[in-house]
A and B are shown apart, each in its own frame.
Chain A
Amino acid sequence: MTAVLERPATRHSAPPRPVRARAVFAAAAALYLALGTVLVFGFDSIMEDALSRVSAASSVWSAVDPKLAAVGFVWTPLPALLMVPFTVLRPLWPALVSTGFAAVVISALSMAGAVAAVHGILADLRVRGTARWLVTALFALQPLILVYATNGMTEALLMLCLLVSARRLLRWLRAGEGTGRRAHDLVVAGIALGVGYLARYEAIVAAAAVTLLVVAVTWWRTRDRNAVLVDALLAGLPAAAAFVIWALLSWLTVGSPFEQFTSAYGNAALTGASRSGSLGDVAAQVLLLAPLALPLLVAACWRRPLAALAPVAVFGSVLVFEWLLRAAGDLFGFLRYQIMVIPLLAVVLALLLAEARPRRGLRTAGAALLAIVAFGGAAVTSGLLVLNGTTLASQEYLRIRPVVDSVLDRPTIAGANGMWAGDRALAARIDALDLPPGSVLADSGSAFAVLAASAHPQAFLITSDTGFDAALADPPAHGIRYVLRNEQGGIDAVRTTWPNLASTGWAQEIASIPAATPWSYSWTLWQVTPQTGR
């Protein structure tokens, strides 16, 4: 339009070219979506929590009582909310929901975003060409990154938020003080942590740690209490607001602000039921995921003490939090709780390779070598862990080992892939009964796979539906014609309320569906017999 408007803007630090960031994102997304498609449609491999979220997201539209609250309050809502638009396609493409592929789309895109963020951090720190591409590619191809990009879990979304936050925090730390010029970096870092909390609870720990760091740095820089207050608010307020608002919504909707800790489906209840692993296992997991993370972190702290605090605050805090929970026995010993050591390693590497002046010859080769040793070594050890870690990497082992064995055409273990076959058979059986809306009582906390596979999800009366509690207490009086009871594998309100359905006099078992795999759920289906005189 005008010459004035097209004047090149003066910039203090040129960000990486958006075209390049988009290309990195697109390449990673294409890779992850392709692998995820093979895993889901080729091997029926989907994690339990992923399928559960897709099912909940679909219930927003497809339940007999459709409402947004169906996404549930045990987890923070963002992952399921992001899936809601995809689940609209369920009538056209039922497999999108029944297989859990909608969750894979979210995890693949999130992880691709995380890869682009790593590339952006490297570019911000002026890491030179070869080393930058090597670190980006090796990060993107880390075995655990590949697994969590393609299995529909929320690790990828949390990692994306934490990486975006770390990137902006690094910019803020490096920009120095000067009329708050980089305040907007702090704004984005804070918002990323707030969004991160809506993806996973752990982000609140990172938000607290980042806020503390910001308070310390601003006080050190300015000695101005007002400036400290502002910067603390910029970094911490979004996460604090997300925390309060989510608790408030939960309290208003289901009567309890922290379902994760109080409900029967939360981690607190689940870990109470099964404790496994030890801190020794945690150390082994971290060492195998990123053997050089600790020495390189020490080196980065030595060379760039201020900047190195960013990854420590963002990723270190989350890791330490998981370790503390583990030590207290309040967390499973899953490998995925240590996954943040990988982005930590990426950022630490970026800091070590950062150089203002151009590198030449041996130093370039040295940088590339460091990247290959650090990330290549980690890829080998964590790859071995995933393929052989029957206890240290149980969730991944049970899903990836069979796939790798199958590709290599060799005998394999009885893994967890295909574990929802029984649930789907049950859904088909109930569909065949051609029941009216709200006539099958089912706890969506355990029956999510059945609900996801059903062609008529409105036939079910599920936990989030109005009237579920009343129907659970007295099914025959509330138009319930069938009751679905989980016998093994899940936390189930029906089983808890009616341990002896047979003795009630109004229910008759008409089917028993055994577990398809050792990790699958088993079910019984009960017909409610009409009561005379009730």
Chain B
Amino acid sequence: MSTRPSTLALLPLSPEVATARSGPALGARTHHAVHGLADVHPRLSARPAGRRGIGRAGIAGIAALLLLGAAAVAAPRLTAVVVAGVLIAAYAAATGYKLLLVRRAVADDPTIHVSDDDARAATDLPVYTVLVPAYQEPEVVGQLVGALAALEYPADRLEVLLLLEEDDVETRAAAERVIPGTPVRIVVVPPSEPRTKPKACNFGLTEARGEFVTIYDAEDRPDPLQLRRAVVAFRRGGEDLACLQARLSYHNADQNLLTRWFTLEYDVWFRWLLPGLMATRAPIPLGGTSNHIRRDVLVGMGGWDAWNVTEDADLGVRLARHGWATAMLGSTTLEEANSDAINWVKQRSRWYKGYLQSVLVALREPRELYRAIGARGIAGLLLFVLATPVLALLNPVFWFLTALWWVAEPPFVESLFPPVTFYLGSAVWIIGVLAAIHTGIAISRVAGKPWLAPAALLVPLYWVLMSLAAAKAVLQLAFRPSYWEKTTHGLDASPSSIATVPSGSTS
């Protein structure tokens, strides 16, 4: 599908409001950060509809549910068999799609690599804005300064905006102590709902001057040449290249089994799945940090959706819908992997909730979506972004049915799965588990971390956590759609790993 890149019609923002720090102008600036996109284009935002009622897509969804309910009452057995069959088919399609993505990425990796020499040779570097949203994490502000000091980018063209909430006194105090003499500028975000990272980023974006904008978390350790590589990659790319997603990985992979799994998962995600999506020209759900975006396009897209808890994934879809290309950049940012299971479930439930939000938002205008991203794009959206949380949610149901069958062999389980469903389901189950394990083993070698392979052998246990997160996500989507599950950082407590410098484009 080729759509000419376009931007949205948006309300203009006066310079006074854009840089306002107090008074009514500040109120306008805050309102812009929260509602800038949702006011003008409510159908592109996850902002709760409130009294405006539900849209046509919502009505269609409710009608489908009612129809299903009626069928379940009228012909319960047939309905159950059909639902089980459809779900098994969805598993098969999602599994097949992911394997296809890996194959595409391996056969023809579209990741843009910029060598160290080319990156250092780049001249006429533009002003680069780095947004660093932080909330209640005074302990990692010091790390931020270290990581920024390592960045090889001229200080006079580097604009780092540390976005702090006004009431986050501790972090603000910690920041005030360490930033003097660095290119970091503190931007205080006034308190307002929703308390989300995208709102803070939108607020910071109004006063950004850079030609390009990127986001790092405070504890991130980006490849020192990443900004230069991004500039070169943008210059090499086409006119429609609006966004580059750098690879994310973890510096504390060795901390425990959870961080090993998480690292393997991320390496598969950023080295194979996202490049595979890119090769198949499907929308790319951007990762939380290290996405580099042309500021003019970002502003023209209305910035981030302050109401979406995975504003990054949503932006990736929105860019694709409006004809903009996203590419992978061969440069790695090291983050801290969540090492605590509870904390991990919180973080993952936010991601899953955000994926669901993003897909639901995109599906509000199915026909327009089809025109913009085509069947392939929609396939990617459904089989990748939607299927990930939905299938994680359904897994326990099928595990339970399997266990029940092994233990008690109740006839109703057998009647749920007629031969075709049974054979397809068994095949998908066996191939899916083996493929997941094998993918983990292979990526450990490709990413140069072979010591992670034993964790890959246990990866099905990781899915249990994913299912917990998916259940939490769905409940929250219904009751607290824009609530931001804060991820606690600084749990790695490994001073030695701080010295680790992430790799560049060589791997």
Contacts and interface: CB of A to CB of B under 8 A. Distances in A.
Interface of A: 1-5, 7, 9-10, 66-68, 179-181, 183-184, 186-187, 191, 224, 226-227, 229-231, 233-234, 237-238, 241, 245
Interface residues of B, number: 39
A3 B451 contact: no
B325 A9 contact: no
Interface stretch (B47-55, B67-75, B217-225, B235-243): B235-243
A1 B453 CA distance: 38
Nearest to A67: B419
Given A9-B109, A68-B419, A238-B438, A231 B1 contact: no
Contacts of A184: 106, 442, 446
Contacts of A186: 442
B445 A234 contact: yes
In the A-B complex, the 5 residue pairs with the closest CB atoms:
A3-B238, A180-B445, A226-B450, A183-B445, A2-B325
Given A1-B281, A184-B442, A230-B450, A241 B106 contact: no
B441 A4 contact: no
B502 to A, nearest CB: 14
Interface of B: 1-2, 106, 108-110, 112-113, 236-241, 278-279, 281, 325, 327, 419, 423, 430, 434, 437-438, 441-442, 444-448, 450-451, 453-454, 457, 506-507
A227 B447 CA distance: 12
A194 to B, nearest CB: 9
A67 B420 CA distance: 10
A180 B448 contact: yes
Contacts, number: 87
B450 A224 contact: yes
A67 B106 CA distance: 37
B446 A229 contact: no
A245 B426 CA distance: 12
25 contacts: A1-B2, A2-B241, A3-B241, A4-B241, A5-B110, A5-B281, A7-B110, A7-B236, A9-B110, A179-B448, A181-B446, A184-B106, A186-B442, A187-B442, A226-B453, A227-B450, A229-B450, A229-B453, A230-B453, A233-B438, A233-B453, A237-B437, A237-B438, A237-B441, A245-B430
Nearest to A231: B445
Given A4-B240, A230-B441, A230-B444, A238 B434 contact: yes
Task: Point out which of A226, A233, A238 has the most chain B C-beta atoms below 10 A from its C-beta.
Answer: A233
A407 B423 CA distance: 46
Contacts of B238: 2-4
B116 to A, nearest CB: 16
A7 B112 CA distance: 10
Nearest to B233: A4
A225 to B, nearest CB: 9
B240 A3 contact: yes
Contacts of B241: 2-4
Contacts of B454: 229
B453 A2 contact: no
B450 A180 contact: yes
Most buried by B among A5, A9, A187: A5
A68 B423 contact: yes
Contacts of A66: 419
Contacts of B110: 5, 7, 9
B405 to A, nearest CB: 12
A231 B441 CA distance: 9
Contacts of B112: 4
Nearest to A3: B238
A4 B446 contact: no
A183 B447 CA distance: 10
Contacts of A10: 113
A190 to B, nearest CB: 8
A4 B434 CA distance: 34
A180 B507 CA distance: 9
A227 to B, nearest CB: 4
A224 B2 CA distance: 48
B325 A4 contact: yes
Contacts of A227: 445, 450
Contacts of B446: 179-181, 183-184
A3 B434 contact: no
A4 B450 CA distance: 32
Contacts of B325: 1-2, 4-5
Contacts of B437: 237
Contacts of A245: 430
Contacts of A234: 438, 441-442, 445
> Which of A4, A183, A191, A233 has most B Cβ within 10 Å?
A4
A179 B112 CA distance: 18
A352 B67 CA distance: 68
Contacts of A233: 438, 441, 453, 457
A222 to B, nearest CB: 9
A237 B454 CA distance: 13
B432 to A, nearest CB: 13
A153 to B, nearest CB: 26
Contacts of B448: 179-180
A230 B442 CA distance: 7
B327 A4 contact: yes
Given A10-B113, A230-B444, A4 B237 contact: yes
A234 to B, nearest CB: 6
A224 B451 CA distance: 9
A67 B109 CA distance: 42
A183 B442 CA distance: 7
Contacts of B438: 187, 191, 233-234, 237-238
Nearest to B457: A233
A51 B64 CA distance: 49
A212 B106 CA distance: 25
Given A1-B325, A4-B237, 12 more contacts: A4-B112, A4-B241, A5-B325, A7-B110, A10-B113, A67-B419, A179-B507, A183-B445, A184-B446, A226-B450, A234-B441, A238-B438
Nearest to B108: A9
A241 B451 CA distance: 21
Residue of B112, B240, B438, B445 most packed against chain A (CB within 10 A): B445
A496 to B, nearest CB: 31
Contacts of A5: 110, 278-279, 281, 325, 327
Nearest to B326: A4
